Amino acid sequence: MRAAILQMRVVPGDVKHNLGRAEELLSTTSAEVVLLPELFTTGFDYPRLRALALPIEEHAETLRGLAGSRVLAGTVPELRGGRVYNTMLVVDGEGVRGVYRKLHLFGQEKEHFAPGEEVSLAHARGVRWGLSICYDLRFPELFRALTFLGAQVVLLSAEFPAERQQHFEVLCRARAIENLCYVLACNCTGRDAMNRYAGGSLAVSPWGEVIARAGEGEEVLEFTLEPQEVERVRESFPALRDAKPERFLSLLGGGRGWSRWTP
């Protein structure tokens, strides 16, 4: 299966430009599955965020138009029940294949977005895709939950700042190694009022090997995925069978022990 990561510059608030640029980049690849950056239509334009947020159905229609016959994933500002969510949509020509609302909000995001409440998979092209967004990368329990739900490939859309770029690759590789799955991570490039973004999007194999890596500028990063390789790796190195999540939850009082880390 051919896949592609569209590493692009996102212009805050300029939906027309961003959609047009995504369409231009999409026209250069015949990949079956394509991943876009976090909030690729709007960026983190906080002053206009609520005005730019749309119901999921309207975003889905726009993304389906971009996708054509391929699978397309990226995040958008979703207006739902009067609240705004940072939402990953996975669509193809037939409809929506997965929806995930960002669980872990970083810094100023907490003032503008509502947190999601569910872990989510998408089902497309015979593959189980785990869904994640940027700051989620620092929380291994989300990736382990996706793995136990059956994820073979985890998609990560991001706007990861250049000052923490080294963390980006290390954590992507760690999440792949821990869960013996592919991790595909799409970062943006350029800068906005808050940060500079250094690209560095990458695809990581179930063994933690980087099979494709982008530079700093706009780029369509193409590579081959072999989802059946995930099952082969998990059979040859069955570490997941030895995991004991229920043991750790019991040590934490069914999860209540996490409260000790709350400021």
CATH of the domain at 129: 3.60.110.10
Whole-angstrom Cα distance, residue 143 to residue 66?
28
Q: Catalytic one among 16, 23, 32, 38?
A: 38
102 part of a folded domain: yes
Per-residue pLDDT band at 247 (split at 50, 70, 90): confident
Indicate whether 247 belongs to any domain: no
Domains in the chain: how many in total? 1
**Residue from 23, 32, 58, 102 carrying the catalytic annotation:** 102
Structure tokens, 169: 């690759």
For residue 252, is it within any domain? Answer: no
> Is 70 contained in some domain?
yes
Give the pLDDT confidence score for residue 27 in this predicted structure: 96
What is the pLDDT, as a whole number, of residue 113?
98
Tell me which H or E stretch contains 76.
strand 71-80
The token pair at 223 is: 């590579």
Residue 255 has pLDDT above 70, yes or no: no
102 catalytically annotated: yes
Q: For residue range 57-94, what is the model confidence (pLDDT) as tens digits?
A: 999 999 999 999 999 999 999 999 999 999 999 999 88
In which band, very low, low, confident or very high, does the pLDDT at 110 lie, cut at 50, 70 and 90?
Answer: very high
| Residue 38 is a catalytic residue | yes
Average pLDDT rounded to a whole number, residues 93-109:
95
State yes or no: pLDDT of 254 exceeds 90.
no
| pLDDT above 70 for 109 | yes
Q: Is residue 231 part of a domain?
A: yes
Q: What is the pLDDT of residue 263?
A: 46
Mean pLDDT value of segment 244-261: 65
Query: What's the burial of 23, exposed, middle or buried (CB within 10 Å: 0-12/13-18/19+)?
Result: exposed
- Looking at this protein, which amino acid is placed at residue 59? H
Q: Is 250 domain-assigned? A: no
Answer whether residue 34 is part of any domain.
Answer: yes
Which residue has 């805050």 as its token pair? Answer: 12
pLDDT of residue 260: 53
Domain around 81: 2-238
pTM of the model: 0.94
Q: Is residue 99 part of a domain?
A: yes
Give yes or no: 134 in active site.
yes
Catalytic residue, from 24, 32, 134, 219: name it: 134
Per the structure block, which two tokens stand in for 185? 């991570």
Residue, of 262 and 213, whose pLDDT is higher: 213
CB 153 within 8 A of CB 175: no
**Residue 251 confidence (pLDDT) above 70:** no
